[in-house]
Structure 1
Amino acid sequence: MEQSSKWKKIVLIAGLVVIAILAGIFYYRYEFVFGDGTKAGTMNYFVHKGYMFKTYEGRLIQSGIRRPVQGSIQSNEFMFSVTDAHVADILNKNAGAYLELHYKEYLHTLPWRGVSVFVVDSVMAIKPVSPTQP
């Protein structure tokens, strides 16, 4: 009888250790904020879409990006997701404006967080773009 309870204790402790390790791996891969920063540019695409999880997805066109090495290709598009409905409403109302966005970068995506590892959490500045007159 004593041998059986000893094995149960060992199995319980091993199970708890495995669960703690898996929880740590999940947190690191999906919830750990790898970095954060700001991007500025003109938003030309913002949509609320998805089959099962409806997410907000957008694209910011950055101006003034130059290639550091001749012949290399560098994208001037910043693809992002938005999880906060209030931030999404602000972005929807300011399509085409020059925006400064604060984002968090995750290591991997989650279906309910969007398709991008860059998640915009706030709008720092909005500047209307005035058309130039010839």
Structure 2
Amino acid sequence: MSEYKEIVKDGVKNIGNRMKKFFLYVIGFILFGFISYLVICNFTYSNGTRSGYLVKITKKGYIFKTYEGTLGITGLAQTKQGFMSTNWDFSVRNKKVYHTLDSLQGVPVKLYYKEKLKAMPWQGDTPYFVYAAERVKQ
């Protein structure tokens, strides 16, 4: 009977080792997938500039506080009442750029931005990240 118990004990130990390996592979696969997703989403899709009047710049969010802004781009669409302003929403990662934008509200500005494939919640609300701003001389 002890030989039978020994065989069962070895079988249970073998199954336990296989289950540990299986769960380690699953956790490794999930971790690899998550890290790959973060890297791919942070890929820069495009670079560019936009010009217009800075409408607002705010720091907002329930859990992740991010800097968000709106640029008013005028003269793009005409209605019966005149020209309609189009708004462009963007996010800012750098506090220095945020303070620069805060001082430029209501004046014509040129914003330099990078568009990411997807913004993570801790990065901002939009995939457009402004990294520099300058006042446009008229």
2:8 maps to which residue? none
Whether 1:47 aligns to 2:58 is yes
Q: Which structure has the larger Rg over C-alpha atoms? A: 2
Q: Does 1:81 align with 2:95?
A: no
For 1:57, what is the secondary structure of its paired residue?
A: strand
User: What 5-or-longer segments of structure 1 have no aligned partner?
Assistant: 68-73, 130-134
Amino acid across the alignment from 2:88: F
Q: TM-score, normalised by structure 1?
A: 0.71
Q: Which residue of 1 aligns with 2:67?
A: 56
Alpha-carbon RMSD across the aligned residues, in angstroms, is 2.8
Q: Is contact 1:45-1:60 (8 Å) kept?
A: yes
Give, in whole Å, the separation in 2 of the partners of 1:22 and 1:51.
24
The residue that corresponds to 2:107 in the other structure is: 97
Identity of aligned residues (%): 29
Normalising by structure 2, report the TM-score. 0.69
- Name which of 43, 50, 54 aligns with 1:32: 43
> Between Structure 1 and Structure 2, which shows a larger proportion of helix residues?
2
The structure with the greater share of residues assigned to strand is 2
State whether residues 75 and 85 of structure 2, in contact with CA within 8 Å, keep that contact through their aligned partners in structure 1. no
SS in 1 for 2:64: coil
**1:12 to 1:21, Cα distance in 2 relative to 1, 3 A:** same
Aligned length: 121
**Residue in 1 that maps onto 2:10:** none
